[in-house]
Amino acid sequence: MIPSGHRLGRCNRRAIAGRMARFLLVACLFGLCAQPASAQSAAPFPTRVVTLVVPFTAGSGSDILARMLGPLLAERWGRPVVVDNRAGASGNIGADFVAKAAPDGHTLLMAINTMTMAASLYRNLPFDPLADFDPVGRLAIGGYILVAHPGVAATDLRSFVALAQAAPGRANYASPGVGTPHHLAMELFKLRGAFDVVHVPYKGLAGAVTDLLGGQVQVMFASVHSVLPHVQAARLRPLAITGEQRSALLPGLATFREQGFDYMDSIDSWYAVIAPARTPAALVARLNADFSAVIGTATMREQLKGQGLVVATNTSEAMKSLLRDDLARWARVVSEARISAD
């Protein structure tokens, strides 16, 4: 009996050893399968030049911001950072370029809020503002001011609206072009304020401001820094500023809300960093942290203040929610005002 039991023990040991060997083999196989994914998530960044794509011309707000951030990011990353201006079609050309780029963080879009207007304005947009991008995060915001030629007999919003309601279609307002934030901001104000002024679109901001100064048009929405010298010289009269707070550059100018028009609170010019869709989540988080760090310095805050901008970073998820909200809001304005850029 003892020899038999001894043989049975050896059999059991061989069976157990076999099962352990198979277990270890399976575990090793799973470990090998998981290794590429782990290596991918831990891939170094950056490994080459990082390109910040600005979908507008040199000297635009997003271009200025990108060129301010570039050297700081290059120092932080140890790699060159270049600004690539790909202007045209209200920012759509640059956005489409980034949408089709490799999702590895080396090609990023310096986006502004026109991105959320394009989907409603252009019928054949070559990209989806939500599906084709992974937002990294917002960087800064700036309000728009409503300015009037000094010949307009209005000193605040209520007197301006009263004048426009008394003479529908008599006054003209300028914008840098159809579908720009300046255009849609006024159309929203018109719809909610129940008055009518005629849109005169220009091919850029310079021509619009020139004709406003000359009195060919009476009012327009503009970024603070773009008309600040004219306001300070009393060549233009500011009526109100959008956003939740007054501008540090024009502290005496009341907001729309303070004058009883609270629906213009969220009409601002936001600047954000957007990556191509399918960028790894860990890399998006890394980019968010790096951009937030460099723009949050005291020096950058002071420089942005001179541009009429306030640092206002957020998370990738919060930026995605902002994109959704803005897409819905501007779709309503475009539909109700029957605007088309095609």
- For every residue of 224-287, DSSP letters joined together read HHHHHHHHHTTSSEEEEE-SSS--TTSTTSPBTGGGT-GGGTT-EEEEEEEEETT--HHHHHHH
Q: At 61, phi and psi to the nearest 5?
A: -60, -45
Q: How many CB atoms within 10 Å of residue 189?
A: 25
Per-domain residue ranges of the chain: 50-142+269-337, 143-264
* CATH class name, domain 143-264: alpha beta
Q: How many CB atoms within 10 Å of residue 310?
A: 17
CA 287 to chain centre: 15
Q: What is the CA radius of gyration of the chain?
A: 28
Same fold for the pair 50-142+269-337 and 143-264 = yes
- pLDDT one digit per residue (tens) for the chain, 342 residues: 434 444 444 444 555 445 554 544 444 444 444 444 433 445 789 999 999 999 988 888 899 999 999 999 999 999 999 999 998 887 899 999 999 999 999 999 999 998 998 888 888 889 999 999 999 999 999 889 999 999 999 999 999 999 999 999 999 999 988 888 899 999 999 999 999 999 999 988 889 999 999 999 999 999 888 899 999 999 999 999 998 889 989 999 999 999 999 888 778 889 999 999 999 999 999 999 999 999 999 999 999 988 889 999 999 999 999 999 999 989 998 999 888 776
pLDDT at 205: 85
pLDDT at 204: 82
Q: Which residues sit opposite 173 in a β-bridge?
A: 199, 219
Q: In whole angstroms, give the CA distance from residue 118 to residue 109.
A: 15
Q: In whole angstroms, give the CA distance from residue 172 to residue 256.
A: 20
Q: Torsion angle of alpha carbons 70, 76, 78, 81, nearest 10°?
A: -10
Hey, what CATH topology would domain 50-142+269-337 get? D-Maltodextrin-Binding Protein; domain 2 (3.40.190)
Q: In whole angstroms, give the CA distance from residue 187 to residue 175.
A: 11
pLDDT at 22: 54
3 state DSSP class of 137:
strand
Sign of CA dihedral 10, 15, 16, 18: positive
